[in-house]
Amino acid sequence: MKMYLVKIISVCLFSFMITACKTAPPDPETLPKDISERPADDESRKYDQAQLDLLKSAIDAEIAKEKCTDAKEWAFAPIGAKACGGPYSYIAYPKKSEASILAKLENFKNRMIAHNKKYNLTSDCMLPAEPVSIRCQAGKAVLVYP
């Protein structure tokens, strides 16, 4: 009786393994799409814009850690990218954090360029005025324009 039971269990397991191996792979059309492959619709544009806003907030937060007491310890750089080229503004940052902030500014610019292309955005193509210096006012760096 034991031998008979072992044979039945073996046959059942073997038949289960054969059927399990014959299942067809899933149809790629029914699988979830990667977010980068989603069509450019209003919802994905809002999501992408929110990601850009988070990057900008991270840059602002890093800069806000430093108090401006001496304008010579600060510099400025372009930020972002307009759809037809050039930055959309300028931002002041502490020189002691220059490497970190410039890397974040470059990443932000590149992501903004990709965003502009993905959604076929247009802009006014006017370049913002470039600041000539920085002054400290109430602990914050303020850009000085001509």
pLDDT tens-place string over residues 83-135: 999 999 999 999 999 999 999 999 999 999 999 999 999 999 899 999 999 99
Identify the three-state secondary structure at position 112.
helix
Residue 134's DSSP bridge partners are 143
How many CA within 13 A on the CB side of residue 42?
Answer: 0
pLDDT of residue 144 exceeding 80, the answer is: yes
* pLDDT tens by residue, 6-52: 667 766 666 666 665 556 677 766 666 665 565 556 678 888 999 99
